[in-house]
């Protein structure tokens, strides 16, 4: 099953495990700095419970049926669903998978190089650990509003059918995937400011993929960026995050200097992403 399951099982485990972040001495090996795995594929974040942003306090109430915002969301949703069966639909399905190592390649074209655990351990670790912080920060609003997803209301297919049973009862607002994608974009843009435009464009398209998949509304994605911004702001005071970020800058610069181009077809990705969803913000 793909990543949406983290919004139930992972959050419960992460909260139990995140009582604090252990300090590391200057002579620790890179192996010793690998993130603590809470369960296979899911890692402890940088932030402890008290440091997490409260998404419920950050976003406005979820749009309700009959409201102007819901009407606008309906229009965007219909436009996004028209992409069903196209290359954009297939890319949205790929974007939905936030498991590693797949997730580490989502920004490869924007960065001009692949991110691997072997070649870029600090950059890889940034993505793994910040995913946990972003997911946990988003939980309070999602759990409070429990906004029904588009496919729940209209019974249409999604691009991730294996996840539909879980997502049926998992709130849509804000989008967890979009929080994670925008958090990653913000962090990677810090690591490689020269490529910030391409990185943020890819971060935006990851959120748009949730519209194409028919599992989120436009306002779910828009408000997710607010939560992500709060997560990244909190991370700025975390010493381990700053250490990994500094190392990630060097890793990315070294990989780009060596001309280590991404393995995927970046022209095909760019051509696919050129077809944006009308009305999406």
pTM strictly above 0.85: yes
Contact 137, 178 (CB under 8 A): no
Lowest-confidence range among 15-19, 155-159, 180-184? 15-19
Q: Which of 139, 216, 225, 244 is catalytic?
A: 216
Q: Which of 129, 139, 147, 177 is catalytic?
A: 177
Distant-in-sequence, close-in-space partners of 257: CB < 8 Å, separation ≥ 6:
none
Tell me the average pLDDT of the chain. 90
pLDDT of residue 183: 98
pLDDT of residue 32: 53
| Catalytic residue flag (residue 33) | no
Q: Is the dihedral of CA 231, 233, 238, 242 positive or negative?
A: positive
Which range has the top average pLDDT, 36-40, 214-218, 255-259?
Answer: 214-218
Q: Which of 129, 139, 210, 225 is catalytic?
A: 210
pLDDT in tens, 99-123: 999 999 999 999 999 999 999 999 9
Domain annotation for the chain: domains and CATH numbers: 77-273 (1.20.144.10)
pLDDT in tens, 33-51: 777 877 777 789 999 999 9
pLDDT in tens, 168-210: 999 999 999 999 999 999 999 999 999 999 999 999 999 999 9
pLDDT of residue 144: 97
| Catalytic residue flag (residue 220) | yes
The rounded radius of gyration (Å) of the Cα atoms in the chain is 18
């Amino acid at each position: 099953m793909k990543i949406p399951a983290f919004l139930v099982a992972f959050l419960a485990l992460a909260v139990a495990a995140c009582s604090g972040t252990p300090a590391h001495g200057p002579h620790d090996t890179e192996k010793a700095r690998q993130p603590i795995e809470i369960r296979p594929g899911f890692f402890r974040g940088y932030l402890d419970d008290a440091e997490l942003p409260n998404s419920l306090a950050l976003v406005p109430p979820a749009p309700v049926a009959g409201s102007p915002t819901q009407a606008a969301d309906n229009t965007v949703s219909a436009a996004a669903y028209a992409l069903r069966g196209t290359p954009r639909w297939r890319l949205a399905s790929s974007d939905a998978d936030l498991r590693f190592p797949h997730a580490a390649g989502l920004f490869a074209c924007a960065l001009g190089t692949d991110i691997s655990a072997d070649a870029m351990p600090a950059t890889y670790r940034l993505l793994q650990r910040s995913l946990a912080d972003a997911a946990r920060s988003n939980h309070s609003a999602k759990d409070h509003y429990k906004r029904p997803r588009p496919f729940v209301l209209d019974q249409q297919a999604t691009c991730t059918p294996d996840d539909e049973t879980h997502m049926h009862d998992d709130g849509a607002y804000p989008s967890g995937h979009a929080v994670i994608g925008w958090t990653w974009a913000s962090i990677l843009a810090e690591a490689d400011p020269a490529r910030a435009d391409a990185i943020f464009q890819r971060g935006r398209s990851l959120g748009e993929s949730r519209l194409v998949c028919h599992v989120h509304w436009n306002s779910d994605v828009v408000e997710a960026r607010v939560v992500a911004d709060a997560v990244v702001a909190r991370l700025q005071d975390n010493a381990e995050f700053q250490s990994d970020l500094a190392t990630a800058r060097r890793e990315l610069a070294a990989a780009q200097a060596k001309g280590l181009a991404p393995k995927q077809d970046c022209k095909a990705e760019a051509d696919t992403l050129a077809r944006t969803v009308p009305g999406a913000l």
